[in-house]
Structures are given as C-alpha cells and as structure tokens.
Structure 1
C-alpha cells in the first residue's frame, strides 16, 4: 500500500500535470502525522515545504517514490522552514550536474497563462497555489469589468482577470521586488498594456489615489494575516473593508480572503457584517479539491461580498 503522501501527490499530479497546483495540503490537518508538510507543483519542479527541522524518513521515501514514478518531474526541492529559519536543499534531480539554488524559471499557471517562480530563496515562491479556485472565479467573472487587486504581490489575480476579458486592472502592493515580478508576469503573457496599472504603494496610505479612480466592479482583498510595521491584522482589515465599500460600484463584488486558522468562516462573515453596514450577501467560495481541510471552516476563507445599492 503506498504511503498517504505518495498516494495524494500522485492523484493530484494526474489532475493537473502541466499546471501549478498544491498537490499535498498537510497543513489542513486532514492527513494524520503529516500536518507539517505542504507540497506544490511548479512544472517541472516539485517543491516540498516542511515546517519542522527535518523531513521524516518515511516522508522522504514517499517523495522519492513519487519522483521515480513520474519522469516529468525534473527535481524535488525541500525547504525546511521552522520559524524563523529557512533552509533549502535539492532532494532529487535528474540532472547529472549539481543543481544550484535558488531556481528562477517560468511555469504554467493555467491554459494560456504563465508566471515566474523563485524556488529556494524566500518562503514565498511568488505564487500561492491554494488560491486556485479564487483565480478561476475571477477569470470567469471578469469580462468587461474594472478590477482592483489589493495586496497584489506578483499580480497572479491580475493575469486571470485579464485572461477573462477584464477591461482594466489596478494592482497595488508596497513590495518593490514583487511589483517588478508582476510587471515581468504581464510582459510574459503579452498583457502589459493600457488595461494594466501596477502601483508600488502602501495601500493603507493610498486611499485618496484609489478613490480618484472610477469605481470598480470587482475588488480582490488578500492581505497578509499580519505584517510587522505595515499591516496590523484585523483592525487594518476593517479599515480596508470600509474603504472598499466606497471604491465599489453598485452591483459589484468584493472577493475577500482571510488565512487565519483561529477564525471560522462563520466568524469572518459576522465580523464583515459588523464592519460594513450595507452588506447584501456573503457567500463562501469553495477551495479547489486538492485543498483538503479537516475543519473546512478554519482553512483559507474566500468570501464573496455583495453590497446593497444606495437606493435599496
């Protein structure tokens, strides 16, 4: 009987062999004794994130079995990341030469969409594959829409919005290296044109600039849970929710993300309603099938917020 880690990765690789995805979501605590592992697929590299000091021997053997079974995997990279340390190593590689880290290359997010990833340097690769259902929703609903992408990072949401026919996307993030990668990602997809704005700005200090823009049909709000010196968590989230309600045109939607396992979706729903007075409805966007959660209410939360029009 294959190890559960091998079984789950193999099953998920078969679904999207040519596209970025999270192929093992141990942090959802769905798999006993494997909750310190996430595994992501960035064709052709399998990226293993271990939140402990060392990878268990059984897990290492399971990863080797996956590598040997799938010849389209060129290498398996391990990142041990017990906070605050990060150590990277090449576990397995088909190259005869020693593989140097970090790896920076272009990969496929979805049909017709590529992006740059960086593996073995920072904790983040430039992509968050657990957001895959959010990308798909935006692509499906973006036609002829104006989209505001807050905490845009490398602007993956923007690529999906434009691929779905958005007429304008404004991306805002304060990280210079991320906005530089965002520009590259748009160039890579032949999307860096008049439809796109990429602002390197502190979102909390940019209310007047954003408010001067024409109102938006869709706003993506995906802040970090907390970032010392720049984002205080829920108090700043509330401030942005109130501002977003002013940036939004009537009939528009806010896609609000929260990655905090201490808060359930029901509590998130309640807190949003207490923050914004004119909420019409809040629905939960389901995560992709590969994101298995023992307690789905506590995993990554994607809320679709609709507001009452002023005349209602």
Structure 2
C-alpha cells in the first residue's frame, strides 16, 4: 500500500488491528506523523468506533477514510461510527454509521481481559484513558504482593490493574466523587474487593493523614491532570504532591509518575522529583506503544519510574 497517501496510512492501522473485541486507541493523529490527520484521534470501544476532531480541519480525508471502513465494518465487528467535534461548543457527537444507542449510555468494554465501564457522549472523558493501556499492563505485571497508592485515580483503572496483578493493598484517591464511585463499580465489575481495597473521594492534600495511615507504600502511582481549574496545575502542584506523600513511601519503594503535557518534557519530572524526593533515583521511562508514536517523543505521553535509594 502506498504509504505516502495519508488516508491509506490510517487505513493500514485498521487492517492491522481489526477484528478485535478490545477497547484500544486505533490511531493517534495528534502525534503529528500523518498529514491532514494531526487533529484527529480514533478509538474503539467495541462495538463503537469513536473519532475525535480537536480543531477545525478539512474533514474530507476523514470522511473518505470512514467510507473505506464501512466496507469492512461487519467483518471487523464495528457496528457504530461516531464523530465528536471537540472544537465546537458542547462537544457534539454525530452518528456516521449505525444509530445513537451508545451515546450517553453506560456500557462495559474489555482491555487486557479486564472490564471497565465507559460512557461515550457529550463529555470529553469516556471513563477510560486508552493511551494508558501500556501503563496498566506494567502495573499488572509489577505489583504482586505490593501495597499500592493510586493518586489522581479517576475511575481507578490503574488500581484495577494493580488488583489484577495480586497487589496486597490498593488505595485509590481522587477528588471527584463521581469518578471514585465509578472506580468502585470497576472493581466490583472485575470482582475485586476486600480489606486491602480503599477509595478516598477527596483532595490528596486534605486526605494526607488518612493516606499516610495506610502506608507505607511499595508503589506510588501518580497520574494527575495537566491542568484543572482551581484544583491542580502540574507545573507547581506536582512537586507539592510528591513532597506530601514522600514520608509514606516504603524503603526501596517505587514511583510511577505520569505526564501527558506536550509542553513539558522528561526533564521536568526528573527535576521535580530531585526537588521533592532527593533520595529517589530515575530508573527510566516506559516505552510508548507504536500507536502513540510522536514526531517529538518529549511531547508524547511520559510514564517514568523512580525508586528510593
């Protein structure tokens, strides 16, 4: 196939990935590697293909791509195709194929044999960040019998991965009550429960004593938003967060720190940790999957590991 044709480049990703019953990021246009698709990401929440357009663009190549996908949709298991235009007021969703039966409806998807509740609709967040799939895989494979603190847990998908990996304890913290409630539902969906599981719907700074009481933690996961009005600014609050939780990290404990801001590079996190937890050393960065390839790797998702000396 002629890889100089942008539409064919994107279509080849579908040929390689489908058919599938998993939820996954199919195409990451925001990596800037495919001309004309730089403002488009495409995800699959079986059986829905979910296309996100972030800025006004010429949509003709996208629509041509969709027509090609329709021809194989039945064989690939795609029953519905939706486009959400995030540059328009209210983030409207258009039904391109199928019907609107999955819009603003809660349903269950599977990733790596784990189940999660999602909602596709007029909110930007679906309930599951699919670009973190490799992060969840790493957690699942590296937390056996460990005490895990999951900060900025959102709907607790990383906590679910820890529980699936036989963690001894998983403490999930997020200030959004609705997100924590969904996290509890995700744990129940996967039949994970027990005395070792905790959920705290509160600002991490206000819960620090309670968090500390459940420590020390062998693994601290921190996946904050880059910016949340009046709640969190990654540039100044990441260091503040790490300083607060530092006393509760176990001897030889490990940190998994995430950063999804294109404006901040690896060095930002390295410097932040050096300032906040001087005794921690940088162990390395988790390699992103090929679907998240970026013209500038420093702008892409950064999942980095540190451990206490």
Say which SS state the counterpart of residue 70 (structure 1) adopts.
Answer: helix
- Give the structure 2 partner of residue 108 of structure 1: 110
Query: How far apart in 2 are the matches of 1:42 and 1:12?
Result: 13
Post-superposition Cα deviations, 1:172-191, rounded to whole Å, max 9, x if no partner, equal 11112111111111111111
Task: Determine if the alignment matches structure 1 residue 49 to structure 2 residue 52.
Answer: yes
Match of residue 177 from structure 1: 178
Q: Displacement of 1:55 after TM fit?
A: 6.2
Where does structure 1 differ by over 4 angstroms across 4 or more consecutive aligned residues?
none
- 2:231 is aligned with 1:235: no
* Match for residue 64 of structure 2 among 61, 64, 69: 61
Structure 1: which 5+ runs fail to align? Answer: none
Q: TM-score, normalised by structure 1?
A: 0.91
Q: Does 1:92 align with 2:97?
A: yes
Q: Alpha-carbon deviation of 1:50?
A: 0.6
Alignment equivalent of 1:78, drawn from 59, 83, 89: 83
Cα distance in 1 for partners of 2:187, 2:235 equals 31
Closer, same or farther: CA 132–103 of 1 in aligned 2, 3 Å: same
Q: Distance in 2 between matches of 1:193 and 1:127?
A: 23
In 1, Cα distance between the equivalents of 2:238 and 2:305?
A: 15
Distance 1:100 1:248 in 2: 42
8 A contact 1:77–1:120 mirrored in 2: no
Aligned to 1:31: 34
Q: Distance in 2 between matches of 1:55 and 1:39?
A: 16
Quick one: structure 1 residues 55 and 142, their matched pair in 2 at CA, closer, same or farther if it must change by over 3 Å? farther
Q: Judging changes above 3 Å, is the alpha-carbon distance between structure 1 residues 298 and 54 closer, same or farther for their aligned structure 2 residues?
A: closer
Contact 2:150 2:221 in 1 (8 A): yes
Q: What is the aligned partner in structure 1 of residue 132 from structure 2? A: 131
**Partner secondary structure for residue 123 of structure 2:** coil
Post-superposition shift, 1:100? 6.1
1:73-120 superposed Cα distances (whole Å, 9 cap, x missing partner) = 111111100176411111111x6xx64622321010112x10111001
Partners in 1 of 2:251 and 2:17 — Cα distance?
A: 39
* CA–CA distance in structure 2, aligned partners of residues 19 and 275 of structure 1: 38
Q: 2:13 maps to which residue?
A: 8
Q: Structure 2: where are the runs of 5+ without partners?
A: none
CA RMSD of aligned residues (A): 1.8
- Who is 1:256 aligned against? 257
TM-score, length-normalised on structure 2?
0.92
Match of 1:205 in 2: 206
Q: Does structure 1 retain, via aligned residues, the 8 Å contact 2:48–2:81?
A: yes
For the Cα contact (< 8 Å) 2:205–2:244, is it kept in 1?
no
Moved more, 166-175 or 284-293: 284-293
Partner of 1:145: 146
- Give aligned pairs, total: 302
Q: Which whole-Å deviations, capped at 9, do the CAs of 1:153-205 have from their partners, x for residues lacking one?
A: 11000111111111110001111211111111111111133231111111122
| 1:272 is the counterpart of 2:277 | no
Q: Is the 8 A contact 1:53 1:81 kept in 2?
A: no
